[in-house]
Amino acid sequence: MSKALKAFIIAIAAMGVLRFILTVSGLPNNVVKYFSMSAIMTAGLIYFAVVTSSHKERLKVSYLLVMPYMTVEVLALGYTWASGRQTIFHASEYSLGTTIRMHTIGHLIGGLTWEPVLLIFVPMEVFWLLYSAARSVFKVKAQA
């Protein structure tokens, strides 16, 4: 595992912990929402789309970028479920009207199955394709 991948994993987890601390400390959701694990994951998606050399490597990275997110999300939802105390992790704009139980189980299952593929790998592949095409075009123009 590269140092960059470790750094992204740590940054995602740290942001999730900070987000949890802020929400249980009583900060309003309209402030806490700016402490975003998804933003770090998106930066990782773009970075690894450019620096990885194979589809298989990008798929592996996709799962590894989702794991800290899913771990924090499931633990925070578990806290909300067990304590009955509302957090941003189960706010109406993020829970899609589901129960806390369904939301928690959905993240656990989704985080291990379709979320890494559809939310990270597919966009990463699209970005890689666009980046590769642009590189080819500029390389051809530079040679001309």
Contacts of 67 (CB under 8 A, 6+ apart): 9, 111
Residue range 39-97, pLDDT digits in tens: 999 999 999 999 999 999 999 999 999 999 999 999 999 999 999 999 999 998 888 88
Identify the sign of the CA torsion 21, 24, 68, 115: negative
Q: Which two tokens stand for residue 37?
A: 């694990």
- The confidence band for 1, taking pLDDT boundaries of 50, 70 and 90, is confident
Q: What is the DSSP secondary structure assignment for residue 89, as one 8-state letter? A: G
Domain that holds residue 45: 3-143
Q: How many domains does the chain have?
A: 1
User: What confidence tier does 105 reach under pLDDT thresholds 50, 70, 90?
Assistant: very high
Q: How confident is the model at residue 124 (pLDDT cuts 50, 70, 90)?
A: very high
The stretch 4-28 carries a mean pLDDT of 97
Whether 138 shows a pLDDT value over 90: the answer reads: no
Res 144 pLDDT > 60: no
Q: Could you tell me the pLDDT band of residue 143, with boundaries at 50, 70 and 90?
A: low
Residues 74, 107 contacting (CB under 8 angstroms): yes
The yes-or-no verdict on residue 21 having pLDDT over 90 is yes
